[in-house]
Amino acid sequence: MPTRSFYFGPFKLFPDQLRLLRSDVPVRLGSRALAILSVLVEHAGELISKQDLLSQVWPDTFVDESNLKVNIAALRKALDEDNGQSSHIVTVCGQGYKFVAPVITRESEISLESRRRASNLPASTKHIVGRCEVIQQVIGQLSQHRLLTIVGSGGVGKTTVATAVAERLLPTFKDGVCFLDFSSLNDPSSVPNAICTALHLPTTIENANEQLNSHLQNREILLVFDTCEHILSSAAEWAEVIQSSCPMVHILATSREPLGTRGERLYRLPSLDVPPADSELTADEIRGFPAVELFLERANETLDDLRITDSEILTIAEACRRLDGVPLAVELAAVRVRLLGFEGLPSVVNDHFLHFHQSQRTGPQRHQTLAAVFEWSFNLLPENERFAFLRLCTLSSSFDLGTALCVASGGTMSMAEATACIASLVSKSLIQRLEHGASNFRIPNLIRYYASKKGLSHRNCGESETYQEQLAKVNWPGLPTDNSAPTLQTRALQVW
């Protein structure tokens, strides 16, 4: 598969990767600006109309022409920062733009199979549903930031997206891609040895830094650090070591919480879109939602003649909503229907479903059941966050910060400790922070159900207690006894 790169002055442009280098140093530009530059450079010397640029960079989307002007201005500033003159892009008044600098085009022919042999990406066996835009966004951000972490809850598809991104970037990194699965590591100190082993470097812990610097310093390579949450500090340390001494190495990490290192860019991976409740959508319109599309595709993988009626589509839509559009949960529900039929599908959030096994046994053990997914996250929590999390899971809907602080503390934590716990649980993808509304936190349905079944009781906060019973144990004067908790909300915001 041929891949092209373009050279002009001190710049190197890689359109497939949306990456621009100036003297081998990445230039910070947005993905739209780089897409505009790619179109202009690929047609250097030709007049490209404004309408053509808009249709190619914003396909199937109406945007105002001012967006184009803003991005052109950003390109000129980045390309002509030394002389302040438009020596690369000129405006043809009333018509469009033209790239006028001399351009050298280079093409290389590297087969996908040879790239894969040089790399070690896991084979992709399934069609990825509903993630095309996400993959493009990650590619665009990775072109601008040398360390990008895909953050999300268990089962949301972080590894799937990271692998797809790395697959698409194989042609653009001269020295390929190295995929590192950290899930099997039990000792954080083994991280450098795991990196060296994946790169086929003989090493010991004592000389890992020297070996990595020597090997990676002049290489254009993408390292994928997959599943970092249980060895977080070590993964962050070595990401920073590599970033500081190897200027052409990019790192794409996946984790249930940020690495927390310098220069890290975060991409929070959302669940798949689900049909809204109480809508008047047709069955065909419902089929177009990514979560439902994924369900139907997985249900039909071994049953080509599976016929699903319009009423069953409504049942599937409700199940996808109950599962919050989490891809792993949707796939498990589809497998269950494939094997057992639609009976019980409306109540997928239950004990049996949490322990329902995938039909494929080759994936990570922590992904074989949803219970294992949540247990992995729960076991990584420090003790005070476990208790705060279990208490918060007694709330059945969205809630505000004041309510969260009251319930999380159980009357035994200080406001500062409860605040720190909630912030950490949000960071670790166990609590979702909603963008709008007064009640701007929620815990996904399956996570909340899993916690309710832990059966743990500590610090006088059992799962059978009502909100009012928990409030009664909090020794704060004038505490309200309803879910609005306005007085506590005011105090919480002061601490937050």
Residue-level pLDDT at 22? 85
Average pLDDT of the segment spanning 333-361: 76
Distance CA 427, CA 12 (A): 37
At 407, the amino acid letter reads V
Of the chain, the percentage scoring pLDDT greater than 90 comes to 32
Residue-level pLDDT at 83? 57
- Structure tokens belonging to residue 309: 């009626």
Task: Please state, rounded to an integer, the average pLDDT across all residues of the chain.
Answer: 81
Query: Does 478 have pLDDT greater than 80?
Result: no
Rounded to the nearest 10 degrees, the angle between the axes of helix 401-409 and helix 486-495 is 90
| pLDDT tens-place string over residues 281-301 | 898 899 999 999 999 988 887
Beta 221-226 vs 177-181: how paired, if at all?
A: parallel
| pLDDT tens-place string over residues 55-77 | 888 876 777 788 888 899 889 88
Average pLDDT of the segment spanning 17-21: 82
Average pLDDT of the segment spanning 74-81: 83
The residue among 491 and 49 whose pLDDT is bigger is 49
Half-sphere exposure of 358 (CA within 13 A, CB side): 21
With b meaning 16 or more CB within 10 Å and e meaning fewer, what string describes 72-110?
A: bebbbebbeeeeeeeebbeeeeeebbbbebebeeeeeee
Taking the model in full, what pTM does it have? 0.72
The least confident of 80-84, 260-264, 383-387 is 80-84
The residue among 478 and 15 whose pLDDT is bigger is 15
| pLDDT tens-place string over residues 349-408 | 777 788 777 655 555 555 678 888 888 899 999 999 998 998 898 887 788 888 899 888
- Number of residues written out for the chain: 496
The residue among 199 and 2 whose pLDDT is bigger is 199
Average pLDDT of the segment spanning 468-478: 40
Short-list 313, 311, 307, 315, CA closest to 346: 315
| pLDDT tens-place string over residues 128-172 | 898 988 998 999 899 889 999 999 999 999 999 999 999 888 878
Q: How far is CA 29 from the centre of its chain?
A: 21
Residue-level pLDDT at 116? 58
Residue-level pLDDT at 298? 87
Short-list 97, 81, 109, CA closest to 22: 81
Distance CA 496, CA 484 (A): 18
Residue-level pLDDT at 10? 87
Q: Dihedral sign, CA of 352, 358, 361, 366?
A: negative
